[in-house]
């Protein structure tokens, strides 16, 4: 029998500080799985949920990038069993909506349907709690729909596997599925956080001849170069000009924006060559307006594309990523700059706002 009460980081209201609290979890019902978390990554999307940039029912337990061990399963669950290591999939596809029938499972219209359902209660007062982005990984244990768990591939350490659930799938997919970087092409990556570092590694794996990392902090240069960056540029009003200077005055073939700010998106677009591709991974607010004039769109012939969850199908992409991990091409540990407990999440949010570090990993 599982514990009825576990510790979690609860968002009581949008814009409020996280609170550590005991929560009461039910046993898994039909089609559900209970997971004991090994680790959970602190993603910028969690910050966006907490400050209201993205909407979430509250009070909620956030955290959407995690991995752990199956504790128990409900009726009808056959693809995992107690004791199995699993990666949490915060955006499971329904297989029925228009996007799914087109094979674009990352755009599933029903992916976040479970986020609006009460999944637990706060032990102190019985208040209903919602699972932020379906999986509520900022807790010692969670109960999720069966399609929110995928078996951890062989050869991937369970703690490191948490990063596969968002940062690595997003960065890898931005390079391989959205931008479709080809061997020998040049790439600029804007933002050297967890997703940015994964994007740099993915560009290296794709065989990019030059990888320019861009960030506001000079302290991230070492992280970027270890991930595979060949050049590092401190973000300024001259960034696009500096990148063109590094690429024979042409600009890069591909720019990947991992920040979600209008000025960064615009700069990323300007730093690509004529006919180049810009992929936007960062999630910005509605107030972040990007403008272009009709003549420059015609003249430059560039492509600007959004990218959701790396345009990935986790069931297909996780085995590919696992093979890169096993061969040493993909270093999951290199993405992590801080290993913390649940109580360290607010400080990790502050570090994101300040532009510090890569990925903070909550280790249980």
**Residue 3 pLDDT greater than 80, yes or no:** no
Query: What whole-number distance in Å separates Cα of residue 243 and Cα of residue 239?
Result: 6
Mean pLDDT of 18-30: 96
Instruction: Tell me the sheet residues that pair with 121.
Output: 24, 128
Query: What whole-number distance in Å separates Cα of residue 135 and Cα of residue 114?
Result: 9
Mean pLDDT of 188-193: 96
**Residue in this structure with the two tokens 């929560």, named with its chain if needed:** 23
Query: What whole-number distance in Å separates Cα of residue 354 and Cα of residue 346?
Result: 13
**Residue 129 pLDDT greater than 90, yes or no:** yes
Residue 314's nearest CA partner among 120, 157, 108 is 108
**Residue 357 pLDDT greater than 80, yes or no:** no
pLDDT at 73: 97
Q: Which domains does the chain carry?
A: 5-165+311-363 (3.90.180.10), 168-308 (3.40.50.720)
In the three-class reduction of DSSP (H, G, I as helix; E, B as strand; rest coil), residue 205 is classed as helix
Tell me the backbone φ, ψ of residue 149, rounded to 5 degrees: -125, 140
C-beta of residue 189 within 8 angstroms of C-beta of residue 200: yes
Mean pLDDT of 345-353: 92
Beta strands 60-61 and 128-131, pairing class = parallel
**Residue 258 pLDDT greater than 90, yes or no:** yes
| Window from 60-64, 224-228, 254-258, 352-356 with minimum mean pLDDT | 352-356
Mean pLDDT of 105-121: 95
Mean pLDDT of 360-364: 96
Mean pLDDT of the chain, nearest integer:
95
Mean pLDDT of 193-219: 97
**Residue 1 pLDDT greater than 60, yes or no:** no
Q: Percent of the chain beyond pLDDT 90?
A: 92
pLDDT at 28: 96
Measure the N-to-C terminal CA separation of the chain; round to a whole number of Å: 20
Neighbouring residues of 80: CB distance < 8 A, sequence distance ≥ 6: 33, 70, 73, 86, 146, 149, 151
Query: What whole-number distance in Å separates Cα of residue 81 and Cα of residue 37?
Result: 15
pLDDT single digits (tens) 136-145: 999 999 999 9
pLDDT at 54: 86
**Residue 305 pLDDT greater than 60, yes or no:** yes
Tell me the backbone φ, ψ of residue 216, rounded to 5 degrees: -75, -20
Q: What angle do CA 44, 305, 210 make, to 5 degrees?
A: 80
Reported for 43-47, long-range contacts at CB under 8 A and 24+ positions apart, including other chains, are 43/166, 43/167, 43/194, 43/195, 43/359, 44/193, 44/194, 44/195, 44/260, 44/282, 44/283, 44/352, 45/133, 45/166, 45/283, 46/132, 46/138, 46/345, 46/349, 47/349, 47/352, 47/353
Mean pLDDT of 112-122: 94
Mean pLDDT of 129-136: 95
The pTM of the full predicted model, rounded to 2 decimals, is 0.94
**Residue 2 pLDDT greater than 70, yes or no:** no
C-beta of residue 153 within 8 angstroms of C-beta of residue 324: no
Residue 142's nearest CA partner among 19, 13, 32, 14 is 32
Mean pLDDT of 59-82: 97
């Amino acid at each position: 029998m599982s514990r009825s009460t576990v510790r979690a980081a609860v968002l009581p209201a949008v814009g409020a500080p996280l609170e550590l609290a005991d929560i009461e979890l039910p046993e898994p019902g039909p089609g559900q799985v209970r997971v004991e978390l090994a680790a959970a990554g602190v993603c910028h999307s969690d910050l966006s949920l907490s400050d209201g940039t993205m909407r979430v029912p509250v009070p909620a337990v956030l955290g959407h990038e995690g991995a752990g061990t199956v504790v128990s399963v409900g009726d009808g669950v056959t693809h995992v069993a107690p004791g199995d290591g699993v990666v949490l999939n915060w955006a499971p596809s329904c297989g029925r909506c228009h996007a799914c029938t087109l094979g674009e499972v990352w755009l599933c219209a029903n992916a976040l349907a479970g986020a609006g359902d009460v999944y637990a209660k706060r032990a102190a007062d019985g208040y209903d709690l919602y699972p932020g982005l379906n999986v509520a990984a900022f807790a010692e244990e969670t109960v999720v729909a069966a399609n929110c768990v995928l078996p951890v591939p062989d050869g991937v350490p369970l703690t490191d596997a948490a990063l596969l659930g968002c940062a690595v799938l997003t960065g890898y997919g931005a390079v391989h599925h959205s931008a479709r970087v080809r061997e020998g092409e040049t790439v600029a990556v804007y933002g050297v956080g967890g997703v940015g570092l994964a994007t740099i590694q993915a560009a290296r794996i794709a065989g990019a001849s030059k990888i320019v990392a861009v960030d506001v902090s000079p302290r991230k240069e070492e992280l970027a170069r270890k991930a595979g960056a060949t050049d590092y540029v401190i973000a300024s009003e001259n960034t696009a000009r500096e990148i063109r200077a590094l690429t024979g005055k042409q600009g890069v073939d591909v720019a990947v924006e991992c920040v979600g700010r209008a000025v960064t998106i615009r700069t990323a677009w300007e730093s690509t060559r004529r006919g180049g591709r810009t992929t936007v991974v960062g999630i910005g607010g509605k107030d972040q307006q990007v403008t272009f004039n009709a003549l420059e769109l015609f003249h430059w012939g560039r492509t600007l594309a959004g990218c959701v969850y790396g345009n990935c199908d986790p069931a297909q992409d996780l085995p590919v990523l696992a093979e890169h991990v096993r061969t040493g091409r993909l270093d999951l540990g290199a993405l992590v700059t801080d290993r913390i407990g649940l109580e360290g999440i607010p400080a990790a949010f502050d570090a994101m706002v300040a532009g510090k570090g890569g990925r903070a990993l909550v280790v249980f």
